[in-house]
């Protein structure tokens, strides 16, 4: 078991949940975060916070001191903005990862876990779950950078004799997700409805997603940390498809039954169908998604109320 872990992006949504779970297991945690999206108050007092940049050799070297397991969660997470800002996207998501890997070569790191994305896949023609061997032809700069980073991680860690596991997250939701114009459709819709505004749906709303609770994502990371397998590539989702219209209808019913969604033109670069086949992670790591969207949605709504 890991004794000391580094969580890059540990002041952010998934990273802060993961940090708390690691601390609960008695693991010493260092968080490296530039606080551009993450919040200082998200980092538990028991964790060591380094305010720094994954692109900085000095910051990364300091954060890696004594670390045996790295959870690389830090990223610029936005498919839409990656199209206009492709250079900045690649600089953080790809070059930041390479800087981290380069520094791992001179460190005590023995295991490296990389947070990848469903965006590495080609668009699916049907709303059927896709497995890890589905076509990796991303349609956004964000997906391209994530796919390249995956390949670097798996290749370079083998050369360094470091275990490596890639986790491809599908649409993660849960309490504490920051509101941005680009990420977290559930949080965006809730925030608009609480303000008395209609949810904005891009396209016809029939695009389908696999919404996975942050608790299940954290559990997948812990299982990957604990496995005796040295290298792995896993989808992290639920295997269940939900349309954007269904999400909108559910939230309107719970918050503002008189409000109807507003439909606007679709954006380039976004997948129409993205549902995870989770057979591999279930069989290899013993993963089982435990959280239900319908059962957890009231908690997310209440969390948004309290944070605004």
Asked whether residue 18 falls in the same domain as residue 90, the answer is yes
Q: Residue 83: which region, alpha, beta or left (left: phi > 0; alpha: psi -120 to 50)?
A: alpha
Whole-number Å distance between alpha carbons of 177 and 212: 13
Quickly list DSSP for 87-101. HHHHIIIIIHHHHHH
- The four Cα atoms 299, 16, 154, 237 give a dihedral, to 10 degrees, of 0
Predicted confidence pLDDT, tens digits, the chain (308 residues): 669 999 999 999 999 999 999 999 999 999 999 999 999 999 999 999 999 999 999 999 999 999 999 999 999 887 767 788 899 999 999 999 999 999 999 999 999 999 999 999 999 989 999 999 999 999 999 999 999 999 999 999 999 999 999 999 999 999 888 766 556 789 899 999 999 999 999 999 999 999 999 999 999 999 999 999 999 999 999 999 999 999 999 999 999 999 999 999 987 777 899 999 999 999 999 999 999 999 999 999 998 888 76
Per-residue model confidence (pLDDT) at position 183: 62
- What CATH number does residue 87 fall under? 3.40.50.720
Closest by CA position to 300, among listed 216, 205, 214? 214
Per-residue model confidence (pLDDT) at position 182: 53
* 205-235 CB burial, b ≥16 within 10 A, e <16: bebbbbbbbbbbbbbbbbbbbeeeeeebbbb
Asked whether residue 107 falls in the same domain as residue 190, the answer is no
Asked whether residue 234 falls in the same domain as residue 252, the answer is no
Asked whether residue 22 falls in the same domain as residue 80, the answer is yes
Contact between 237 and 289 under an 8 Å Cβ cutoff? The reply is: yes
Predicted model pTM: 0.94
CA distances from 95 to 60, 99, 117 (A): 13, 6, 17
Per-residue model confidence (pLDDT) at position 253: 94
Closest by CA position to 46, among listed 69, 22, 63, 66? 22
Full residue range of the structural domain in which residue 30 is found: 4-173+211-238
Determine how many CB atoms are found less than 10 A away from the CB of residue 262.
12
Determine how many CB atoms are found less than 10 A away from the CB of residue 59.
19
Non-local CB neighbours of 203 within 8 Å, separated by 6+ positions: 244, 263, 265, 266, 267
Q: Residue 282 falls within a domain, yes or no?
A: no
Interhelix angle for 293-307 vs 185-194, to 10°? 50
Domain count for the chain: 2
- What CATH number does residue 265 fall under? 3.90.25.10
Q: Residue 220 falls within a domain, yes or no?
A: yes
Per-residue model confidence (pLDDT) at position 176: 84
Per-residue model confidence (pLDDT) at position 205: 93
Three-state DSSP at 262 gives: strand
Q: Residue 284 falls within a domain, yes or no?
A: no
Per-residue model confidence (pLDDT) at position 239: 97
Asked whether residue 66 falls in the same domain as residue 199, the answer is no
Per-residue model confidence (pLDDT) at position 68: 98
Q: Residue 253 falls within a domain, yes or no?
A: yes
Asked whether residue 192 falls in the same domain as residue 114, the answer is no
Contact between 130 and 275 under an 8 Å Cβ cutoff? The reply is: yes
Whole-number Å distance between alpha carbons of 192 and 200: 9
Asked whether residue 122 falls in the same domain as residue 249, the answer is no
Asked whether residue 99 falls in the same domain as residue 226, the answer is yes
Give the residue numbers marked as catalytic: 142
Asked whether residue 63 falls in the same domain as residue 111, the answer is yes
Q: Residue 264 falls within a domain, yes or no?
A: yes
Q: Residue 280 falls within a domain, yes or no?
A: no
Asked whether residue 131 falls in the same domain as residue 223, the answer is yes
Asked whether residue 167 falls in the same domain as residue 248, the answer is no
Q: Residue 287 falls within a domain, yes or no?
A: no
Asked whether residue 140 falls in the same domain as residue 254, the answer is no
């Amino acid at each position: 078991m890991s004794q000391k872990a580094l969580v890059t992006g540990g002041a952010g949504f998934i990273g802060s949940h993961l940090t708390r779970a690691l601390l609960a297991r008695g693991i010493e945690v260092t968080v490296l975060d530039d606080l551009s999206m993450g919040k200082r108050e998200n980092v538990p007092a028991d964790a060591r916070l380094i305010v720094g940049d994954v692109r900085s050799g000095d910051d990364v070297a300091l954060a890696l001191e004594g670390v045996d397991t790295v959870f690389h969660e830090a990223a610029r997470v936005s498919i839409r903005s990656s199209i206009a800002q492709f250079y900045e996207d690649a600089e953080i998501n790809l070059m930041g990862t390479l800087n981290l890997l380069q520094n791992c070569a001179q460190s005590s790191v023995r295991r490296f876990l990389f947070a990848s994305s469903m965006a590495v896949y080609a668009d699916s023609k049907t709303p059927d779950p896709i497995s890890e061997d589905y076509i990796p032809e991303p349609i956004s700069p964000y997906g391209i950078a994530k796919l390249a980073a995956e390949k670097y991680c798996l290749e370079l860690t083998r050369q360094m004799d470091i275990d490596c596991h890639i986790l491809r997250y599908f649409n993660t939701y849960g309490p504490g997700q920051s509101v941005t114009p680009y990420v977290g459709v559930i949080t965006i819709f809730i925030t608009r409805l609480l303000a008395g505004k209609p949810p904005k749906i891009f396209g016809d709303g029939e695009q389908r997603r696999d919404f996975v609770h942050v608790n299940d994502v954290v559990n997948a990371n812990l299982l990957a940390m604990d496995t005796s397998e040295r290298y792995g590539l896993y989808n992290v989702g639920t295997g269940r498809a939900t349309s954007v219209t269904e999400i909108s209808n559910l939230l309107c019913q719970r918050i503002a039954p008189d409000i109807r969604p507003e439909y606007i033109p679709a954006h380039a670069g976004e997948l129409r169908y993205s549902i995870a086949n989770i057979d591999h992670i279930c069989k290899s790591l013993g993963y089982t998604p435990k959280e239900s969207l319908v059962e957890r949605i009231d908690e997310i709504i209440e969390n948004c109320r309290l944070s605004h």
